[in-house]
A = this chain, B = another copy of it.
């Protein structure tokens, strides 16, 4: 273990040029979601102070909240020991991170042999996105 600190160049993107990025609520500590960033998304996140991901399904940069208004203001950003995972502490506008209208995306809880809904939407996603289904 060296004490040398990596420049942004030391960030290890995978063979698709992506790195997983975890968003955690800076106040409650709740893990809100995990999505992916490419180098440009990470640079935009650092420059703009809001979470910018790479949408693998849409193949483009995704400024979280661009449709919903549920922007994530980045309060701190960390890299892990292997330099291949990002953690952000964020202020979640609207208190809703998930496109289903829930506080966070991790609402399927394993209990025994089943997945159960651990928490319900706080808002109808149709009222967030209208007829479209964006994030």
Residues of A at the B interface (CB closer than 8 Å) are 1, 3, 5-7, 10, 20, 22, 24, 28-31, 33-34, 46, 76-83, 85, 87, 98-100, 102, 105-110, 112-118, 125
Contact = CB atoms under 8 A, between A and B. Distances in A.
How many copies of this chain does the complex contain? 2
Interface centre among A1, A22, A80, A112 (most CB of B within 10 A): A80
A99 B5 CA distance: 17
Interface centre among A20, A79, A108, A116 (most CB of B within 10 A): A108
A22 B29 CA distance: 13
A31 B76 CA distance: 13
A46 B110 contact: yes
A34 B22 contact: yes
